[in-house]
């Protein structure tokens, strides 16, 4: 069902960009990119006039937002097996295999997690639109592990807000090059688009105002150290995301000098383990259930390909 929202700007929001302001409105519960799309589609007005995402609010501005009804889903369902870790009327948690794209996009309109979910669930939340029904977060194609999908609009709105407010626990395991020192630490950087290679992300200079990036933080701790027969060193590292930026772990580990093994984009060191994907796995996921308020924490063991790679190595 379509909905309308009206806001009168107070002193505390003076000077804030309108897309940032609306992203923080819980009753809308849209991502910033979704808000910007609403603005482009002229569904947001300020004092009855069309506006831009960069507009800075003034005291007394009257902001009106029209949120359209969810679109009818048209992506084809496909009978693809799913490793279901948890499911109820509101949400489903999948242990996604490496190689599976999360949602349809140019070049990947079939064989995605969404295609499989439409065959299994029949009732995904439509808030994400035709191509991303129920999707509240992503995993890279070649990252395996836990991903939660909303089946109801209630769940979609609640989970989106929990991710935005950084209240979702996300832990990963990664096999990286070298022996990481120190054994524990916190990586804090400015992360944004690479200034030259625009398809890549990069750690940016905090002082450089010409680059646009966001704060990114990753906790790490070494679980085990390994060595291959020819002397190459590796570490199995546990990582907890404090923020959720694109390619955050892969870029942060490269920045630390310990790229994720098998990562063809960010970790191009010699890899003698013969695995054609980055050895990164979303191992634990924790969040508040949207309907019951109960805290749910789930675990997914390392997949077969990473376990086989570890078996080829000697612990140190």
Instruction: Indicate which residues carry an active-site annotation.
Output: 140
Beta strand extents in the chain (DSSP E only)? 3-8, 44-46, 49-50, 62-67, 84-87, 91-96, 144-150, 169-177, 184-193, 201-204, 213-227, 233-241, 280-288, 295-299, 314-315
Cα(106)–Cα(150) distance, integer angstroms: 23
Ramachandran bin of 134, using left for φ above 0, alpha for ψ from -120 to 50, beta for the remaining angles: left
Q: DSSP assignment, residue 29?
A: -
Residue identified by tokens 């902001």 is 63
Dist CA 213 CA 245 (whole Å): 10
Cα atoms in the Cβ-side hemisphere of radius 13 Å centred on 101: 13
Q: Which residue has the tokens 């506006």?
A: 51
CB 309 within 8 A of CB 175: yes
In sequence order, what are the beta bridge partners of 239?
A: 172, 220
């Amino acid at each position: 069902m379509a909905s309308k929202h009206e806001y009168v700007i107070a002193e505390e929001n003076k000077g804030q960009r309108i897309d940032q302001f609306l992203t923080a409105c819980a009753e809308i519960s849209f991502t910033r990119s979704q808000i910007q799309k609403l603005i482009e589609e002229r569904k947001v007005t300020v004092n009855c006039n069309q506006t831009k995402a960069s507009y800075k609010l003034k005291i007394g501005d009257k902001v009106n937002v029209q949120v359209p009804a969810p679109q009818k889903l048209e992506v084809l369902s496909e009978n693809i097996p799913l490793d279901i870790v948890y499911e109820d009327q509101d949400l489903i948690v999948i242990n996604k295999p490496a190689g599976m794209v999360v949602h349809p996009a140019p070049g990947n309109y079939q064989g995605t997690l969404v295609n499989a979910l439409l065959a299994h669930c029949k009732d995904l939340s439509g808030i994400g639109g035709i191509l991303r029904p129920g999707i509240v977060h992503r995993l890279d194609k070649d990252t395996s592990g836990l991903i939660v999908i909303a089946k109801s609009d209630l769940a979609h709105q609640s989970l989106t807000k929990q991710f935005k407010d950084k209240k979702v626990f996300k832990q990963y395991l990664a096999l990286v090059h070298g022996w990481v020192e120190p054994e524990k630490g916190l990586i804090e950087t400015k992360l944004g688009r690479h200034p030259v290679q625009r398809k890549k992300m990069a750690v940016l200079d905090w002082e450089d105002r010409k680059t646009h990036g966001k704060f990114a933080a990753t906790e790490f701790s070494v679980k085990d150290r390994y060595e291959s027969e020819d002397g190459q060193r590796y570490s199995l590292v546990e990582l907890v995301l404090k923020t959720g930026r694109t390619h955050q772990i892969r870029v942060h580990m490269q920045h630390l000098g310990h790229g994720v093994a098998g990562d063809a984009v960010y970790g191009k060191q010699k890899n003698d383990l013969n695995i054609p994907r980055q050895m990164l796995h979303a191992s634990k996921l924790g969040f508040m259930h949207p309907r019951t308020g109960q805290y749910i924490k789930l675990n997914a063991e390392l997949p077969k390909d990473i376990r086989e790679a570890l078996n080829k190595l000697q612990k140190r």
